[in-house]
Every structure is written in C-alpha cells, then in structure tokens.
Amino acid sequence: MLTKRIIPCLDVTLDKKGGCVVKGIEFVNLKEAGDPVQLAKMYNEQGADELVFLDITASHERRGTMIDVIERTADEVFIPLTVGGGISSTEAIRNILRAGADKVSINTAAVKNPAFVKESSEIFGSQCIVTAIDCKRNPDIKNNKDKTIIELEDGTEAWYEVVIYGGRTPTGIDTVQWAQKVEELGSGEILLTSMDKDGTKDGYDLPVTRTLSELLDIPIIASGGAGNIGHMYEAFTEGRADAALAASIFHFGEYTIEEAKEYLGKKGVAVRL
C-alpha cells in the first residue's frame, strides 16, 4: 500500500529580506508566517514527506522565482522539494532544479501554453513536473452544459473553473477537463487548490478532490482549507487524495507533522512514520 504524504506548503513573497512566508484567505489579506529557510528546516526535522515552495506573486508581478531562497532552502532539507511560481520556460525549470529543487510546479504558464507541460515532461521526466491547478466553484451550470457538473456537500451543483495569476483571473476552463488534459500531456502529479477553501480552515474541497482522484491515474495533492488534522483524514478517505498539503496549521504551531502522522496512523491511514 502506498503511504499518504503530508506536505507543508511555504507560500513565499518577495520582501526586503529576500523572501517571507505568508498566509492569507483566498490568496489575499496576507500575514507573515516566518522565514522560509527556517520553516523548511523545521519541517524536515519533524518528518514531513515533502515540501512545497510557492512564490505566489511571481506570475502576477511578471518576474522569475527567487533562486537564492530556493538554494538556501534546499541546503537545509533532505526531502523532496517542489518549487512553483512564475515558471514559464524550460530554462527556468533547469535553473530551479540546479538550485536544489526536485520537482517544479507550473500553473499559469501551463494554462496559457499547454504544450509547455508536454515539452517539460519530455525533457525533465514526468516525475519532475507537477501541474498546479487553482480552481473556484462556479454555480452557473445552466449556461455551461459542456462543463463537468459536480454535486456539492449541500446537494447543490457547480462546475469548477480554473483561475490563474494567483487566483486573480478566471479562465472559463473546466478544472476536470483541464486535469485530464495535463495528465495526457505528461504531468506526473496535480496540486489541486480550491480557492473557495484556501485559508478558511473549513476543510478541503472534497467534491472536486474526489472527482479528480477517481478519474485520473496520477497522484492528486489536496490543497486549501486544512483547519485541523481531521480535515487531512477526510482528504485521504472521502477525497481519496494521495497527499494533503497544509500551511496555517503547521506554520502557527497548532500541530506538528508528528502529531498529524500519529493521528492518521491511529485512524488506519498508511503514513510514513
């Protein structure tokens, strides 16, 4: 049985010191959560399975990812490190991998140029390419008959729209159809973030997570909404995700990685202890 992965996420923005981990609600109202290098080191020591480093304003600010911060982070961690934010060329991927990352996460650039997913996976290998999909519920199903309609927790229905530039720009693209396409193009994994849930601490978006997990053969990382370790259990059991990503509950000391894994293990979820 494959073990489920616990992945802390470092949402990083550029500041005068070079980089700062932040956390907000639906990617806005950001507040500082600490130094990325120190947090990465702590999570490595606590037994995190992987680490995700997202430069969340790189695409919006039309700049490259913070290579120096990645290098300093990679020096402190000995677990797989995924880096995303502003990556739009194979040269950028090469530089990030040279800086110490094990995988790259592409989002906006993939939506704007799907061939980039195929090219990247052919050059660097599918295992290296994670497609990040930020999505938002759209209740207008009457005018979107061609979209994948998903039943929500309250019995209503919606389709999930892909959004880009850090959740700022809707695309009209159906999340489920887009996920199927990037799998065909060679993406090795999908990092699925529900903008409706991000930072709310109300739990993961289980309907869309479950839909993708059941439909695709590549791993799905659930992201957005973790408020406690019980939500992680729901992501694995009800959402059928392969990994659960969380930020606030770890950054602000509500739980440690060990506590999360101990809880999940007792509940019968296979985790690496």
Q: Which of 96, 84, 85, 87 has the alpha carbon at shortest distance from 116?
A: 87
Determine the distance from the C-alpha atom of residue 63 to the mean position of all C-alpha atoms in its chain, rounded to a whole number.
20
Residues identified as active-site: 11, 134
Kind plus residue range of the DSSP H or E element containing 179: helix 175-185
Going 20 to 21 to 22 to 27, the CA torsion angle's sign is positive
Determine the distance from the C-alpha atom of residue 58 to the mean position of all C-alpha atoms in its chain, rounded to a whole number.
15
Rg of the chain on CA atoms, in Å: 17
Give the whole-angstrom CA distance, residue 211 versus residue 222: 12
CA dihedral 72, 75, 81, 83 (to 10 degrees): 20
51, 81 Cβ separation under 8 angstroms: yes
**Pairing state of beta strands 243-246 and 220-223?**
parallel
Give the whole-angstrom CA distance, residue 196 versus residue 163: 11
